[in-house]
Structure formats: structure tokens, C-alpha cells
Amino acid sequence: MRALARLPLDKPAFRDKYGPWAVIAGASEGTGECYARELAEMGVNLVLVSRRKPALDALGAALKAEFGIDYRAVEQDLTEDGAGLRIVAAAAGLDVGLYISNAGVGGFAGFFEDSTEAAHRLVRMNISTLIDAANGFGKGFLARGESGSGRGGIIIMASGAGLGGQPNLALYSGTKAFEIAFAESLWAEYHERGIDVIGIAAPIMRTPTLLRMVPEGFDVSDAYEPGDVAHNALAGLMAGEPLQIIPDGPGQEKQPQVEADRKARLIGFVEFNKAFTGG
């Protein structure tokens, strides 16, 4: 397993800022389960969303027994039309302070000409569902704050594949590129209004999805531990970062500088927009 140093995180302050409820789309296993466990340990109540409700019920019940949190288990296929709207509706009446878009799907690799239906499922899951959920929860976060400032956070689990094209991953790379640019854009719009947004250019992680996808005997020893990635995403959100790039793949030694350059560019556009609009 590849090591990733954990960033400092003030957990009581995190709970106060982003609690008392968090919504995790794609929560049944892997990185989503890691998010759920760390948030429950902080005392944050959870809305757990995925296609497999029995797995959600088992996870929620275990976390409630261990940490005393409340939970809702919501069965929802993230690739369906209207999934994002239904996720927002499922959390109605709860004081939600955090939305985590952790959509994941197996079986997406292949030549573009052979993957038309899979491609459309990826677009619905990684773009349409994200747009509707971020819009719905974002409006709620704007309304939560005091003195005209909102309060809440959005974590968008993208992928290092979104930093550039890859063979056999045309639509996956494309939709993950959208997620990265969308997260940065929302950060630019929301950050000074009290809402934090971060995109995670996630690396290869040792998750059940990965283990189901790779051929038998394939070496996954260089994969990251998903709990470390989830922890650092939470820490990065609270630190106000727009993007985290976990070094992985060809050119990884340059990726910390890429992350810094993208943030500097983003801040420059924020200031340009203020000057342009007079705001």
C-alpha cells in the first residue's frame, strides 16, 4: 500500500462548521465508507446514498452503534436521470452542511466505439447528477449562514484521469475533467460567500471496485489507502483549498506544482471578475 501523510484536521471545528448532517453519494464501500466512518467518528449524522440499500443499512447501523449518530439510507442509482434531484429531496428537513460527490462505477474502461451506453451513464452520474445535487445543496448552504454569509461544504471526488486524456478512458477522463473544472469554478463563486468547495484529483486506491476490475494477479501494491485520501480531502476542504492532486501516474513529480499553479490562476480570475463586475 502506498503511503500518504495525513494532513492535520481539527475534528470538533469540522463538525461545527459542516455538521450536523452530511450527505455521501456513493457511500456503500471503499472511499465512501471511509468518509462515512470518519464523519461518524466526529459525531456528524449521515445520509448514505448508493444502489445497494442493504449495504447502506448495515453500514449506518454499525456506525450508529459505535458512534451514536443518526443516519438515513437512500437507495439511488447515480446514473439515472433525476438522481441528483432525488438525493436533495431525500435529505429534506435535515440541516445538511456537507455534500460529498463520491460516485464510482466499474466497467467503464474500453474503446470509445464500444462504450456508448456506458458513456451516457458516466455523463449522467459524473455531470448531470452532480450538477443537480450541487445546485440543490448549494442553495441550502447559502441560506444557512449568518449576516449574508453561507455555511457548508462540497467535496467532489474526481480523478487524476481528469488532468488529461487516457486511452480506453475517453468518457471517464472527460467527465472527471468536468468535475475538476466544476469544483474549481464553484470554489471561485462560493469561497468568499462562506461555502467551501474542493475537487479531488484522486489516485488509484485499493478499493473493492479496483479489486473487482483488475485481472487476477495484477500488482496493486502501489495503490493508495482510501481512508488516507478521504481524510486529506476533509482536511483540504476545511483549509479552503480548491483542488487536491494526489501524486500518481506519469509526471507525478510535477503535480504539486500543477496544483499550485491552478490555484494561482483561479485566484487571478476571481480578482479579474471582481474588477470586471465592480463587485
Q: Cβ of 27: how many Cβ atoms within 10 Å? A: 29
Name the pairing type of β-strands 71-75 and 45-50. parallel
Domain 11-253 adopts which CATH fold?
Rossmann fold (3.40.50)
pLDDT of residue 207: 66
pLDDT in tens, the chain (279 residues): 788 999 999 999 999 999 999 999 999 889 999 999 999 999 999 999 999 999 999 999 999 999 999 999 999 999 999 999 999 999 999 999 999 999 876 545 667 777 677 788 889 999 999 999 999 999 999 998 776 678 999 999 999 999 998 888 888 899 999 999 999 999 999 999 999 999 999 987 876 665 566 667 666 667 889 999 999 999 999 999 999 999 888 889 999 999 999 999 999 989 998 888 776
How many residues would you count in the chain?
279
The CA-CA-CA angle for residues 80, 93, 101, to 5°, reads 40
pLDDT of residue 203: 84
Greatest CA span in the chain, whole angstroms?
A: 59
pLDDT of residue 213: 64
pLDDT of residue 113: 72
Alpha-carbon dihedral of residues 166, 78, 18, 40, nearest 10 degrees?
A: -100
- Structure-block grid coordinates of residue 231: 481524510
Q: Which amino acid is at 154?
A: I
Strands, sheet with 243-245, edge to edge from the N-terminal-most edge strand: 71-75, 45-50, 21-25, 96-101, 152-157, 195-201, 243-245
pLDDT of residue 61: 98
Spell out the domain ranges in the chain.
11-253
The answer to whether 158 and 176 have CB atoms below 8 angstroms apart is yes
pLDDT of residue 250: 85
- Tell me which residue of 50, 95, 49 sits closest to 72, measured CA to CA: 49
Encode 23-45 in three state secondary structure: EEECCCCHHHHHHHHHHHHHCCE
pLDDT of residue 216: 72
pLDDT of residue 219: 64
Under the phi-then-psi rule, with left for phi > 0, alpha for psi from -120 to 50, and beta for the rest, what region is 68?
Answer: left
Q: Which residues contact 21 (CB under 8 A, 6 or more apart)?
A: 44, 45, 46, 47, 91, 94, 95, 96, 97, 98
